[in-house]
Structure 1
C-alpha cells in the first residue's frame, strides 16, 4: 500500500494504490457490482453503470433514512474494465485498474475539502482494501486497529501541526478517534467547568496563566481568558470520533509547541481507551 496527500486546485487529493493478485476483470466486478461492493465498501452502493449514471449510497446503521441524508453522486468517467470515477456528495472518487504481472494494481484518487480528516479517510480505505482482498479470495490479512492506523497517518501527513494566523493567534484542527464525551472527560478530570471559574487543568497548555471561563457547554465548548486574549476549545462529532478545534487569540505563536504536546498526549491516551456501548 502506498499513500500520498497533496493540495490541487485548492482541494485535498489523497492517492492510494494496492497490489492485488487478481485479474483486472475480477477486480472490476468487485468495485462496480453492488453484491460484491457490500462486502468491503463503507456504504451500500447502487450504480447506474454508464457515463452520467446515478450513484446512491446508503449506510447500514440507518437504512430507512432518505437517500439525500446519506449521499448521492454521478458517474463522471466510465471505461470498463479499467476506470470509473464518480462523485459522493462533494467528494470525487476515481478508481483505476492497471494490469500487472501478478494481477493488477488498484489506484484510488479521492478529492475532497476536509484535509484534517485525511488520516481517518486513509485508515478507513486501508481497512476497506483489506476487506476487498478477502472478498476477492485473497489470503487472510491480519486485523489492523483503526485507531492506531489513524494516529500513524496523522504523523505521516503532518496533521498534528497547528497554524499561526496573520494576527499572531494560533489554531489546531485535529480529528480524534473517540467520542467527544470521552475527550471532555479526560480533559476535565474530576473538575467541573463553569463560567467564572478557573478552567480545568487539562484544558490549559504549559506556560499559560489562565484567567476565568467565559463559556462552558459540556462536552462541546470551553472558552476562557488569558492575559493577552482568549483560548477556545470546540468538540463536535467527526469522522470516527470527535473533531477538535483549538484556538488562542493574541500573540500566541510561542505556545504552538506546548499546545501540540498537550493535544498529542490526549490523542495517544484516547487510542488506549475503549468506548463502552
Structure 2
C-alpha cells in the first residue's frame, strides 16, 4: 500500500495513490460526475464545477438534512481533467490525475485535524478506491474494513499512548464497533455500579483499583488507584466508538500494560 501520514502546518495530512488502467479523461468523469460518484464515493455529491463553486454532500440515511459546514464545501482548485480540490466541512480533499504508460495515477491528499481517526479514514478510502476500480470496469477482491483499520493503526503508530506533561498516561483509539459493543466486552456478563469494584476489563496489569466512582453505561467509567484516577471514556466516532483512556498520577510505568490491554480488546472487536 502507498499511504503516508504526516503533520503539516499543525494539521494531519493523509496521502494515498492508486495506479489505474484507464485514461485520465475516463477517471476524471468518475471523480467529478455525480452519477459515477454515486458508485464509490461515501456520500452523494453535487458539484458546481468551477473555481469557488459550491459543493453539497448528502447521506442516504438523511437526504433532507440541512446544508451546514459538515455537509457543504467549496472548490478551491479546478484544472480539468487533472486536478480538483474542495473542502468537506473542515477537511480538504485534493484529487490529482497524472498520465502514465498504462493509464493514470490517482493521487488523493486529505487534510484534517482528527489524527486518531486516520486509520478509519485510510480504511474507508481504501474501500472507496476498490469501489472506484469496479465503477471503471475492473474487478478487485472484497476486503474487510476492520482488518484494514487495524492494519493502518499499526502502520501509523496510532496504538501508542503518550505520557502527559503531569506524568499521567493517555490513549485515544478509534475502534471498529459501536460503544455499546465495546462496553459489553469490557464489563463482561456482570453489571457495574458506583461503589463496586471495576470489571477486570477496565484494569491494567499491576494496578490495585479502588471502587468505581462514576459510571455511565457505554460512555464513562472512573475509579481511583493509589496515586491518581483512571477514566475510560467512549463516544461515537467514525466507524465505531472512540476510546479515550487516561490515568493520572505518576503513571508512565503503566504505558505498556495499558497498550497490551487495549490491543486485547481491539483483537476481540475484529473477530
Partner of 1:214 in structure 2? 213
1:43 to 2:38 alignment: no
Partner of 1:31 in structure 2? 31
User: Which stretches in structure 1 are left out of the alignment for 5+ residues?
Assistant: 273-277
Partner of 2:9 in structure 1? 9
Displacement of 1:67 in angstroms is 2.3
Displacement of 1:62 in angstroms is 1.5
Q: Is the 8 A contact 2:53 2:74 kept in 1?
A: yes
How far apart, in 2, do the equivalents of 1:9 and 1:35 lie? 35
Map 1:53-72 onto structure 2 (within 5 A).
53-68=53-68, 70-72=70-72
Partner of 2:192 in structure 1? 193
Structure 1 residue matching 2:50: 3-state secondary structure: coil
Structure 2 residue matching 1:132: 3-state secondary structure: helix
Partner of 2:78 in structure 1? 78
Map 1:132-143 onto structure 2 (within 5 A).
132-138=132-138, 140-143=139-142
Partner of 2:240 in structure 1? 241
Structure 1 residue matching 2:39: 3-state secondary structure: coil
1:111 to 2:98 alignment: no
How far apart, in 1, do the equivalents of 2:31 and 2:76 lie? 16
- Does the C-alpha gap of structure 1 residues 15 and 68 become closer, same or farther in structure 2, counting only changes over 3 Å? same
How far apart, in 2, do the equivalents of 1:251 and 1:27 lie? 54
Partner of 1:146 in structure 2? 145
> Which whole-Å deviations, capped at 9, do the CAs of 1:49-76 have from their partners, x for residues lacking one?
0000000000112212222275100000
Q: Is the 8 A contact 2:69 2:89 kept in 1?
A: no
How far apart, in 1, do the equivalents of 2:223 and 2:5 lie? 35
How far apart, in 2, do the equivalents of 1:193 and 1:248 lie? 20
Partner of 1:270 in structure 2? 269
Partner of 2:173 in structure 1? 174
Q: Is the 8 A contact 1:59 1:70 kept in 2?
A: no
Partner of 1:257 in structure 2? 256
Q: Is the 8 A contact 1:180 1:219 kept in 2?
A: yes
Structure 1 residue matching 2:56: 3-state secondary structure: strand
How far apart, in 1, do the equivalents of 2:107 and 2:72 lie? 22
How far apart, in 1, do the equivalents of 2:115 and 2:220 lie? 22
* Alpha-carbon RMSD: 0.8
The 4+ residue runs of structure 1 with deviation greater than 4 A are none
> Which whole-Å deviations, capped at 9, do the CAs of 1:119-170 have from their partners, x for residues lacking one?
00000000000100110112x1110000000000000000000000011001
Structure 2 residue matching 1:67: 3-state secondary structure: coil
How far apart, in 2, do the equivalents of 1:234 and 1:245 lie? 5
